[in-house]
Amino acid sequence: MKIAILSRKASLYSTRRLAETAQARGHDAHVVDILRCYMNITSAEPTIHYKGKVLENYDAVIPRVGASVTFYGASVIRQLEMMGVFCVNDSVAITRARDKLRTLQLLSKKGIGLPITGFAHSLDEVQDLIKMVGGAPLVIKLLEGTQGIGVILVESSKAARSVLEAFLGLKVNIMVQEYIKEAGGADIRCFVVGGEVVAAMKRQSISAEEFRSNLHRGGIATAEKITELERNMAIRTAHIVGLNVAGIDIMRSNRGPLVMEVNASPGLEGIENATGVDVASAIIQFIEKSQKK
């Protein structure tokens, strides 16, 4: 098969692993810079051009779309879908996952365990918003934040009010969540491929002062054995959002596992190094099975 990996840089670990694995399994794999693609939108024969030429015909595409280029990246993926190309994650699922609030609303409707989350627009409702999530300490998140950026732990109601007023005054979209103290600064990243959890790791924050467990924030990753409940929750979450490949972040609380976040372009380096699982091969094998149907 001819497989395209949509990524800004061929040197990135995840991109390189996917390309090398696809080639090792006998496929013709190319890395395509999604921002260098441009489209001819027509009802007769939609096409994508790349670096001055019509993009080759591919059997499958693996989107590795960064959060900062979601809008343009989703447009390119939609064009590929119009051209009949199989996309591992489709454009609707990617844009859905990038909207944290929409994702939580979808999961809430389906009964998935979630942290108590508040969302408001008016400064007049700040005090009730804080009360809604159980008061301080609480977590404030930018809706567009990734890799732990834009996530703030606020220790007091007074500080929470000040931070919320600052963000809302700047017209920045934020949501407020309860702080799960019993998790101890740890969460579980479940890597879902084709309706199966192929690997899971525990991410632990580095100190009492740094509550974020993201590896980009210095978190420590180790292989983790998850429960059947956690496994089913991760699989259901990916299905509800519509993702074939997803990183589902789960936090263990006193009332059971809670889904904290859904990642449409989860990195491979941390989980492969922590677990020893060849996640890249799982993704390529999923494409192979999908194309045989």
What span, in angstroms and rounded, lies between the C-alpha atoms of 140 and 28? 44
Enumerate the β-bridge partners of residue 245: 193
Which pLDDT score, from 0 to 100, does residue 164 have?
85
pLDDT of residue 293: 62
Whether the per-residue pLDDT at 96 is higher than 70: the answer is: yes
Pairing of strands 138-142, 86-87: unpaired
2-96 has which fold?
A: Rossmann fold (3.40.50)
Q: Is the pLDDT of residue 112 over 90?
A: yes
Assign a CATH topology to domain 182-292: D-amino Acid Aminotransferase; Chain A, domain 1 (3.30.470)
Task: Name the architecture of domain 117-179.
Answer: 2-Layer Sandwich (3.30)
Provide the token pair at 50: 């790349």
Range of lowest pLDDT (101-115, 196-210, 211-225): 211-225
The band of 272, judged by pLDDT with boundaries at 50, 70 and 90, is: very high
Q: Which residue has the higher pLDDT, 121 or 93?
A: 93
Measured between alpha carbons, how far is 264 from 67 in angstroms, rounded to an integer? 10
Given this model, what pLDDT does residue 50 score? 95
Cα separation, 284 vs 293, in Å, equals 15
Tell me the per-residue pLDDT of 53-65, one tens digit each, with 9 for 90 and over: 999 999 999 999 9
Cα–Cα distance measured from residue 217 to residue 56, given in angstroms and rounded to the nearest whole number: 38
pLDDT above 60 (res 146)? no
In the chain, list all ranges with CATH 3.30.1490.20.
117-179
| High-pLDDT (> 90) share of the chain, % | 65
What pLDDT, on the 0 to 100 scale, is given for residue 202? 94
Residues of the chain with CATH 3.40.50.20: 2-96
Has residue 154 got a pLDDT over 80? yes
Model confidence pLDDT, tens digit, residues 66-92 = 888 999 999 999 999 999 999 999 999
pLDDT score recorded for residue 207: 56
Long-range contacts of 163-171, Cβ-Cβ distance < 8 Å, separation of 24 or more = 164/123, 164/126, 164/129, 164/130, 164/140, 165/123, 165/126, 167/140, 167/142, 168/120, 168/121, 168/122, 168/123, 168/126, 169/123
Tens-digit pLDDT profile for residues 184-217 = 889 999 999 999 999 999 998 775 555 555 555 5
